[in-house]
Structure 1
Amino acid sequence: MPSRLHPEDQKRVDEYLSSPVHRVERRPFRVWILIALVAGSVIGLGLLSRLLAQFAVA
């Protein structure tokens, strides 16, 4: 898709994005850690809700 910017504006955007500030090395994304965190949160909150329900019923 062609840019909708003027060529000189596109050049400035390209220079800005290629600056060292925007070239931070990041660790690879690990989906299994995210899944484990979400599952742990759901299980933990589920157990907490069951515990609170036991106190409310008793």
Structure 2
Amino acid sequence: MTSRLSPEDQHKVDQYLDAPQHRVQRPPFRAWRLMLVLTFVVIALGLLSRFISRLVL
């Protein structure tokens, strides 16, 4: 894909992205971990809501 920026602007963007503060190594995205955490949160909130409903009724 070609850039729509002028060469000068593209150079500024490249310099900005090459700065040390923008070169953070991130761990790989783990979709299964996210699904596991979401499942746990949904189950925990469901159990909490059932517990609260038994206290009220």
Q: TM-score, normalised by structure 2?
A: 0.84
Q: Which runs of 4+ in 1 moved over 3 A?
A: none
One-letter identity of the residue aligned with 1:50:
R
RMSD of Structure 2 on Structure 1 (CA): 1.2
1:15 aligns with 15
CA distance in 1, matches of 2:18, 2:5: 17
1:5 aligns with 5
> Where in structure 1 are there 5+ consecutive unaligned residues?
none
- Within-5 A mapping of 1:1-58: 1-57=1-57
Shift of 1:46: 0.1
Shift of 1:13: 0.6
One-letter identity of the residue aligned with 1:34:
L
> Where in structure 2 are there 5+ consecutive unaligned residues?
none
Identity %: 53
Aligned length: 57
CA distance in 1, matches of 2:3, 2:26: 28
